[in-house]
Structure 1
């Protein structure tokens, strides 16, 4: 029994020693238990890979959309395959590689250290999470804390574009102190440092964008709006922040709806119907380009137009908007997006891409086959022609090679440089000045991701394009946006036109107005001296001589001569006595003209009206009405429009008026010449010729006015030279030639009319029309001849009064001389309103004019 116990004791001792030896020998091997997790399914190598001393990971979605798979959970779940190409995401990845190659060639940054990359091109939240775990654990299927210290793990992870997948893997990666830098995930929730302690981004948080959109709506006075969001964290957080801020500004939201591209058609139809029946005409859409294109197409089919769209940065400048059937209803949309950027030589790099550069990448092969419609594997695709291998992207125009819109691509570029600067600062750390305990530095040969994380917080550099890059305490970039307006470009695509800049770092009360001046305003104690050979806007500020002070141009001394007060601004106003009298005389002229028109219309069949060419008479009365009314444009405060209107309206209406009088004069002359035996002159100046002559004479004046307004139009001017104590607000002609041409042409017509009427003054009849026309033209010419010296010698507002008086006097002269005698006969001497009396000695009864 004792021997048996002794043997058992020796056996136990040997087994214990053996187990202890095994544990000591494999002390660094993780135990399959709680401290180790294994990725379910299969491990996937990176899509794009380059080895280096230090690695940077990247997660992008090279494809979009996944087949819908129903899992019964009786077998291993099937992998959901990605479908459509996403050239934008592939461009993001290539921009990352381009930046890494650029850094590796830069001897001043990370000298003797080569950066490598591991880039995954997964789609779908679960696959992206798997890629994140793979980047933390290398290419191993097992994952533990210790794997994160291996050389094959990455120092930082760039990506993803979407907020939802970024939220998923950033929360997991953050537990292992690996930095994550996103270029496009804007959800405000990612600023929560407790949930996402290692998250950074080179794009502003949606918190600032939401407030900017609310301020934009308030600026335009839109107090009744609709709100739409994409059905994920990006949309919910963004639109919620917008609604909160909008309500603070007094903006009401009629409806708030969410939509996802994976929703059933019924959801899209319901939202379309809500928009169609709503009374708000402004819609704030916090969506991605996929949802907005679906919605635009649905609204276009139902002919829902007239809406003002306010867009978020996820779609407002997306080039794929043109692909939507209803993209035309989005024209005119307003929205904020990050500032425009350029990346030198990136376009050339993208066009040099070839499958031979990434022989292990299936996506690059698929991309190549899609672009050139050929097959790199004839066995798999025998129906396509084989790729020659000599294809080139140099002459290919696609979304991948297009570098006209690099706003978000530049964020990837900046992310790489942010990591590189953090690594460079970490490597160049001087002993005793480090960021770690006891001011120590990191071991250069064993740099850990958590050490890179520490230096990312202090990154602060300026890109070659002059853009400053840094992160605040929440890992966010400074919020600076461009306000853009969607328009149709020359090639038919949608293009965002920049309207202004919004800087969220400024306080609410601090707003910038763009300044565009040749010379800054002179300070007190200096005066302006014009620069030789330059416009009046360019001047130098010269100190005032001793004993003198700066004079304020628009000011004048008070009665006590001890202070400056603003000069009085003088113009002919409606509410002063002179202006009121001129308005009354103008309206009286309109009233008398309308009464005359009514008398002529009621007696239009009588011989007197018919003998005076009723058509030209009514046109003359219409033009006289306009002449009286155009005088009203000269009264009131001059503006740009009133200055252009007053002189052109005067010129055209008087040209029409004199053209009618000239036509009537020619008719009178021709009519009586036609009474001579064998004369057929009236057929050469019948009704059609009369109309054409009036039109032709008037069109000449119209052309003169158009040339005047096109070359140097009249404009309002503050005349400070005429009086020292007041400012005369007047209309400058722009060029005196234009005004002289208008007056000269009217004078030419008047003189011509006077000559013809004078020649016809002794025609044999009892009611000589030519005599009255002669007298009216005599008054007209006398008034405007006297106008010139009176206009030149009249000071200030009386200049305008003289011009109005000339217009009214000449208009009254035409009205009274031509129409008053006829109205007197029609109303008070009807016995003279007969054909026999009008013809007098002329016996030809067939004359009609």
Structure 2
């Protein structure tokens, strides 16, 4: 009310000052008082410029339409603190706050959690009711916490009440992030045992050009003063003052050393300077814009009467360069467009106190340039086991691991588990692992994807060499047996067992052994087509020959009976016709397979861990099993017929050998199906080759080895006389 009245005695709704009209108020009151008087200034439309209040509520232009400030809003402070935490990887913090800062603390908490951080505790104390006896319990809570970073979100003197308490020893091995609103002292008392563990956010403070000279030379008598102001000026006469601001004056009384005499920036002088010059420039812009307007200049009193509400418009849009060449303006909320300096408070052993600017945060700077920090100039306390200190609820998860949040605990408290098979993580503290591309596989550490090893059954590997050797061995063995049969083609045992069918069977078995070699080596389009079709057709010829042999044995027995009509069906043409007709059906099946969905080379990336298997895809599984099914059908018919004819007279009986050979053949291929389906990778090819070789060798051994034994080692049994006996050897 004194401000509005213009005199010491308050007179509501009257202005008694004759020296001039009040244009605006520049104040440095605490936030609570600034909010209270703002409601009065709003009634009269007086602009209010604060150089101290950072209260975020006052950014509300609806409730505080005439409020401006030359310090940033606390909203920006919260974001700056979060950026500092992220830079050092401090994801586990504690917060100590004053009761009056609850709203700002809530915003800080939300910002920390949104950026992946967690808060171990929030301690709120009432500034007015906090008793000295509460400090011990308060510090024990801090000391027993697992976090290494404490955010102290309090204003002015409350911070120093905590730091200067006798329980200060509990600050050991904790980093403190504070709001530093005081000026910077240049010295400290060594016996206080202060530690280099504090990073402070402070409104940008700078020395104004020629301001120190003004302080030294100005006559305080010319300035408004009271007891405290006079004491401030007298304090500058002390010999301990810095030379830049020490005044030359005679003071008769002894002075108590005042803190402002040992400071670097003279309090909030920079913010006051910007506020005063913003107001001056707004007034200048208003006057210059109204020059020439006769209605406004018709009388001095009329102009002054409308000054406050008009000035508000120009303050909102004021832009100028201050004495340091910096651009000064207000944003849409009336906040000045400057940021914060980040200070490292360093206490040297000789009592010197330094304040190193290690970084800054300016929310109005372009993205990527808003936050800067220089870790090299930070001085850390020697108590820290590592620098910069770490503050995490759980140790970092190395690449190759992912985080698994513990149930019922904050997201920052987690266990590290290895990535699952086929997945990797190449970042520290990865929330998830991701699958490698199909042609790649995790390395041993599971922190990078590497190309999969390409594999197939090659001729160079031991298994390929073994199978190739076995195939060639049986091929040569069959060729030798064929040579023996040709050499002894006119002997009774060769003639009695249908010589032509034996030749066809032996040649087809030779091809069976050779066709297994097609399955070995790098698959390509040609070999994939030949693998299954050649195998199916050649085996069909072999089984057709065996079926024809079996039918021939039965027909030969019944043809010997008197008056039998089967005599005219005896001969090689009938036998060959059976072979051709049965083989033709298989050829038709294979051609239909090739024309519709032929086999093709395929890169199988899933059958075997960490490898790409080059294999032949059947194209149509149905066609593949139809070919196998037809072979099974031929083998089954041959087995049944041979089994029924096993007791025919021995002179014509080859059925026993065929029965046993079909039993071996069927057992091999019945075992093949489940084994093939349960095998992965190139071993599927090995299983199929083994089935081909085993079944072919079974036919060769069961049908032809006994005959070769008689031909070579029992020639006396290879005679017509021996075969015509009613009791003779098996053929």
Question: TM-score higher than 0.5 here?
Answer: no
- Name the TM-score, length of structure 2 as normaliser: 0.44
- Name the TM-score, length of structure 1 as normaliser: 0.38
Larger radius of gyration: 2
